[in-house]
Amino acid sequence: MPEHLERLGARLSDEQSSLLEKIRALSENVQHIKEIVAMQQNYSKVGGLRETASISEVVEDALRMCSGALARHDIDLTRDYEDLPPLILDRHKALQILFNLLDNAKLACWESGRPDKRITVRIVRQGSERVRIEVIDNGVGIAPENLDRIFTQGFSTRKDGHGFGLHSSILAAQDLGGTLTVRSPGPGAGAAFTLEIPLTIPQVCDEIALSTH
């Protein structure tokens, strides 16, 4: 076979392999999107309802929704979960908050440009009646003058930001009977967002107690 035909054949073979790899990756992404949509639909069916749920399972659902983006941006993920009893909470609101915090941490890591991008998710008990979920990143950090404004509607430190995600998250945290706070040493030093919610919802417990009498 002439040499130029051999080179052409090798080139076509390489292009075919590359195309097949792209098709495989696209297929995986489509499947991932389907899983996310199915998960969101499942949560939306019970939105506004309080139910017994494992907070670690809700966190894992949020992480699954962000897993593709974390992998694309080469962000290492560390989990640090304390073993906790089930909570009574609105799973949909909790998922909304956690997804927003993880998405925010992902963008902060990506914008930092550092090679060792990292997000840590921590679940710890806070006393006897509260649970704390922390999303910690080593991204771009937050300037001191912006810490008091970070949850304000319409405020964003990004050029293309809309300032809605964190604002809606703090409102959702309040609906859960909890708080959402942030701390950061400053620009370039990362940030930590902390969601703190009750281990139980007093109103729901009171209703259950009354129904048994």
Q: In this structure, how many other beta carbons lie within 10 angstroms of the beta carbon of residue 22? A: 10
Tell me the mean pLDDT per 10 residues along the chain, length 213. 69 77 62 55 59 90 88 93 88 90 92 93 91 95 90 76 80 92 93 91 45 46
Domain ranges across the chain = 1-45, 50-208
Q: What pLDDT was estimated at residue 129?
A: 86
Domain 50-208 has what CATH class?
alpha beta
Q: What pLDDT was estimated at residue 190?
A: 94
